[in-house]
Structure 1
Amino acid sequence: MTNPTGALSEAGVSIWLDDLSRDRIESGSLRELIGSHSVVGVTTNPTIFAGAIGGGVGYGDRLASCASRGLSVDETIVELTTADVSDACDVFADVYASTGGLDGRVSIEVAPGLARDAAGTVAQARELWARVDRPNAMIKIPATVEGLEAITETIAAGISVNVTLIFSLERYRQVINAYLTGLERARAAGIDLSSIRSVASFFVSRLDTEIDARLEAVGTPEALALKGKAGIANARLAYEVFEQSFRSERARFLRSLGAHVQRPLWASTGVKDPALRDTLYVEELVAADVVNTMPEATLRAVADHGEVRGDTITTEFLESNQLLNAIDAQGIDYVEVTAKLEEEGLKKFEASWNELCETVKQALQS
């Protein structure tokens, strides 16, 4: 009998682990998850690296080497994180080969302080891509207004991109346009479009956390009945946007030249509300051509008691739209909520980055 993670894979969901550390690579636990839990990729972010390097396991000799060479804090962070990502890419090399480049991907994010700096983002994307030096890497770029330009320029350079921190459907449409524009520019530059891959990371649980708090404040039975539903509805409607966008004449033409769709990726899939099922954001977001990046606790919960019922997205577009309309009728402004979440997301990553910088600074001085 197929286990739940295997069933997810068969249903078209690529499982990526939302975690990475030197210890996870060297202990073999990362490789083990490929066979035991159908994991076919990894995502990282400043919070993950702050926890990994702050924990200290496996980084002592590398930090000492950086200190002996007189590397700065920023140089040391780039050295440590790109080494982890390069080695993780090697762990997933067979997955990358067997899936024709679809999976086996490992993502590394540009510094959060560059989120409003398009030129700086592109420059660091090029640097990280060169430093990791693996075809199965992806560079994570936040979907800020400034990030849209950076996404286009990075794709145009032939670099695979994981667009992160997407909350609103309108911003997602802009992200897809940035991707397609980048492909058009890559084609004009003579770059093989089949070598470029991209995913668009839609954050799920954070939307529920914010909207549920506002529904609680309204406090009516009608409002409370809507709790725990906005994130899934929003993601399902994002999938509808995905389907419509890549059926367009523009996208079909690029695909005829070897380009790939930009797959939706469900991020922030760890359930925050203990009243909700811990596998909710996996079970309710199953469809072909999606990625679900899970923290380890969620991954193991799915493997233990996940219920995979096949496609749980494409029959729910009308109901999802009605649900978001019902939330709007409670006086909750979708545009304001998603803008707030983007800003908060950037601040959280900046705080993690500052924590990481301080950890590395102390290590270099010790």
Structure 2
Amino acid sequence: MSDRLKALSDAGVSIWLDDLSRERIETGNLADLMREKYVVGVTTNPTIFAAAIANGERYDEQVAQLVDKGEDVDRVVFELTTEDVRNACDIMRPVYDATPYDGRVSIEVEPLLANDTEGTINSARALWAAVDRPNALIKIPATLEGLPAITAAIAEGISVNVTLIFGAQRYREVMDAYLTGLEQAREAGRDLSTIHSVASFFVSRVDTEVDKRLEAIGSETALALRGKAAIANALVAYGEFEEIFGSDRWRELEAAGANRQRPLWASTGVKNPDYDDTMYVRDLVVAETVNTMPEKTLDAFADHGEVLGDVVTGKAGEGRAILDRLVELGIDWEDVLVVLETEGVDKFKKSWEELLETVSGQMEKAKA
């Protein structure tokens, strides 16, 4: 057991693992992480599944069965990934039963649909039905086209992990989409208490993009701001969360049984080796949030992470001050956000194509 991870959990941070594989499920590794490292949720994406399937013989039998049935590669991917998520949901079920928010496993809609509202809605419905577990979360990207899909999914009672959020304004739109979906669900007579959501606000990628621009400016003032933008941006986002979920609109939904959409800090592994490898966990501790970590970051925090109490609440002004300084230095903040979202969607699409390629290769082996 890790005292440092226990302290993080005791501070109200839900520790989720940003990884999943059939090996983790079948060897008991996921259950071990729940018991020993306070892991209470799982997030996945196409990159994670591509690595798991490429490196794991545990998928071979199911691939062979699906090939024998004449399924195409898209269907094979769908069956393999929903099987893993369903089984992970079952492992997480005791946590789900014991806590109001945790024990959840996320699976992403097909990334090629990121700019297709109807396609995203249909993909969300199909994944929700196939996993068929109340503790699943369907990941929908926070693109402009994704916003109405979030509302539609929530209105139908589908629990959603909104992913790829980079800026505070888009985050407000995500929260509005969630509340609108809840209002529609209430009008339809649904039980709001069964609908859950997290909003995945990406962290480290912000520093990667901004640091590059600060280094191009090159002044002492600019260089001193490296590694500051991501946390500042997250502090501003949390201020937006406090405002929206302190509103009369929210209180009315809460009275009807609705659950808050918790902030989830994503992309929390450091990209710059010069930075403390726990900074995106340590500097974002606040109760009733989620931090989803790759295992490397989880192990780093278990080894030397610090919990300094709530370091987020009431700090939105400090975050804004840093973002204002960046703008004064010539950083085009709106362009930073556009670049990050565009790159994020492109990376997810590329990962999806790699996943299809990996599975196609496994299917060819099964036919041989």
Same fold (TM over 0.5): yes
The answer to whether the 8 Å contact 2:237/2:316 transfers is: no
**1:55: which partner in 2?**
55
Deviation at 1:269, TM superposition (A): 0.2
Deviation at 1:58, TM superposition (A): 1.1
**1:311: which partner in 2?**
310
- Partners of 1:326 and 1:314 in 2: CA distance: 21
- Partners of 2:57 and 2:34 in 1: CA distance: 22
- Partners of 1:119 and 1:98 in 2: CA distance: 35
- Partners of 1:12 and 1:279 in 2: CA distance: 17
- Tell whether 2:50 aligns with 1:19: no
- Partners of 2:144 and 2:13 in 1: CA distance: 29
- Partners of 1:314 and 1:189 in 2: CA distance: 35
Deviation at 1:315, TM superposition (A): 4.2
**2:90: which partner in 1?**
90
- Partners of 2:2 and 2:249 in 1: CA distance: 39
- Count of aligned pairs: 365
- Tell whether 2:35 aligns with 1:35: yes
Distance change (3 Å), C-alpha of 1:203 and 1:322: same
Q: Which letter maps to 1:94?
A: P
Distance change (3 Å), C-alpha of 1:2 and 1:59: closer
- Partners of 1:231 and 1:320 in 2: CA distance: 9
Residue correspondence of structure 1 range 131-280 to structure 2 within 5 A = 131-280=130-279
Deviation at 1:316, TM superposition (A): 2.4
The answer to whether the 8 Å contact 2:108/2:139 transfers is: yes
- Partners of 1:190 and 1:73 in 2: CA distance: 39
- Partners of 1:342 and 1:213 in 2: CA distance: 16
Deviation at 1:2, TM superposition (A): 7.0
CA shift digits 1:307-346 (9 cap, x unpaired): 1111011142222111010111111111110111101011
**2:295: which partner in 1?**
296
Q: TM-score, normalised by structure 1?
A: 0.98
After TM superposition, the structure 1 stretch with the greater mean CA deviation from structure 2, 308-317 or 296-305, is 308-317
The answer to whether the 8 Å contact 1:9/1:38 transfers is: yes
**2:321: which partner in 1?**
322
- Partners of 1:56 and 1:91 in 2: CA distance: 20
The answer to whether the 8 Å contact 1:265/1:290 transfers is: yes
- Partners of 2:193 and 2:138 in 1: CA distance: 17
- Partners of 2:317 and 2:236 in 1: CA distance: 9
- Partners of 1:193 and 1:322 in 2: CA distance: 38
| 1:19 alignment partner, SS class | coil
- Partners of 2:250 and 2:324 in 1: CA distance: 30
The answer to whether the 8 Å contact 1:278/1:298 transfers is: yes
* Identity among equivalent pairs (%): 60
| 2:162 alignment partner, SS class | strand
- Partners of 2:170 and 2:6 in 1: CA distance: 32
Q: Which letter maps to 1:197?
A: H
- Partners of 1:315 and 1:149 in 2: CA distance: 30
- Partners of 2:35 and 2:229 in 1: CA distance: 33
- Tell whether 2:73 aligns with 1:66: no
**1:117: which partner in 2?**
116
| 2:308 alignment partner, SS class | coil
Deviation at 1:228, TM superposition (A): 0.3
- Partners of 1:202 and 1:362 in 2: CA distance: 34
Q: Which letter maps to 1:35?
A: R
Deviation at 1:57, TM superposition (A): 3.3
The answer to whether the 8 Å contact 2:239/2:314 transfers is: no
CA shift digits 1:183-233 (9 cap, x unpaired): 000011111000000000000000000000000000000000100010011
Deviation at 1:139, TM superposition (A): 0.1
The answer to whether the 8 Å contact 2:2/2:302 transfers is: no
Q: CA RMSD in A?
A: 1.0
- Partners of 2:327 and 2:54 in 1: CA distance: 42
- Partners of 1:171 and 1:36 in 2: CA distance: 36
| 2:312 alignment partner, SS class | coil
- Partners of 2:27 and 2:326 in 1: CA distance: 46
The answer to whether the 8 Å contact 1:22/1:57 transfers is: no
- Partners of 1:16 and 1:128 in 2: CA distance: 21
Q: TM-score, normalised by structure 2?
A: 0.98
Deviation at 1:239, TM superposition (A): 0.8
The answer to whether the 8 Å contact 1:200/1:263 transfers is: yes
- Tell whether 2:17 aligns with 1:45: no
The answer to whether the 8 Å contact 1:155/1:183 transfers is: yes
- Partners of 1:110 and 1:309 in 2: CA distance: 36
Q: Which runs of 5+ in 2 are unaligned?
A: none
- Partners of 1:31 and 1:325 in 2: CA distance: 45
Q: Which letter maps to 1:164?
A: T
The answer to whether the 8 Å contact 2:111/2:352 transfers is: yes
Deviation at 1:56, TM superposition (A): 2.7
CA shift digits 1:40-74 (9 cap, x unpaired): 00000111111111213311111111111111100
Q: Which letter maps to 1:115?
A: A
The answer to whether the 8 Å contact 1:13/1:291 transfers is: yes
Deviation at 1:235, TM superposition (A): 0.7
- Partners of 2:82 and 2:341 in 1: CA distance: 26
